[in-house]
Every structure is written in C-alpha cells, then in structure tokens.
Amino acid sequence: MAKLFSYGTLQQKNVQLANFGRELSGSKDILQGYIIGEVEITDERVLRESGKAFHPILRLSGNTADEVPGTVFELTDAELAQADDYEVDAYVRVKATLKSGIECWIYAAADLI
C-alpha cells in the first residue's frame, strides 16, 4: 500500500468518493519544510468534484519550522494512479518524510522541481 499525505481537497469525502469509490481512512500528521500557496483550478472535472476554484498547493520553504497539517492515507497503487489523474499539471508527486517519520507521497508545486 502506498502512503499519500493530503493537505487539501483529497481530504474531502465527496472528492474521495468521486476518485476512489470509497471514503479513505487516515491519520493526522504534519509535513515540515513547506508552506501552503494557492493555485487556480480551470479543469472542469476537478472543479466539479472539489467544488472549489482555488486549491492549496505545497511550496518548498526548506525551513523545518514551517509546518503543514494534513492526513496521511493508505492507497492501493491503482488508487494512487487515480489521485495522479485528479491532480492538475500545477502539481507533481514527490516523496517526503512526515514529522512522525512516515515516508509518503505528497503533491507539491511542479515549478519547484
């Protein structure tokens, strides 16, 4: 099972049901070294599923005092691919280590990589 840290719309029940056909269970955690920015969503499917025109986006700060709260979920490889399909081109999936020590995937700003 893959671990995915969500700090935004993938925490919404309606987004989970639309993308995975089930409600995900997870645990609260913190990502250090990032801050939250904002990106405008123009993809019709993502707008419809999330109900939001602006989504949060992780921006690397490199400062461990910067912390982003969220939820870490366990997904199958197929569900992780579905999450990739949901995220727009402004995001890229990268590996990270959470404050708890859990290694996981995150979606961060693509222009930082």
- CATH code assigned at 54: 3.10.490.10
Structural domain boundaries, residue 89:
2-112
Pairing of strands 34-40, 91-97: unpaired
Candidates 76, 111, 109, 112; CA nearest to 8 is 109
Total domain count, the chain: 1
Contact predicate 45/17, CB 8 Å: no
Average pLDDT along the chain, 113 residues, taken 10 residues at a time: 96 96 97 96 94 95 96 97 96 97 97 64
Residue 31 backbone dihedrals phi, psi, to 5 degrees: -105, 125
**Interstrand relation of 67-75 and 54-60 (parallel, antiparallel or unpaired):** unpaired
Strands 26-32 and 34-40: unpaired
Residue type, 77: D
Instruction: Please state the pTM of the whole predicted model.
Output: 0.92
Can you give the pLDDT at residue 113? 46
- Per-residue model confidence (pLDDT) at position 111: 86
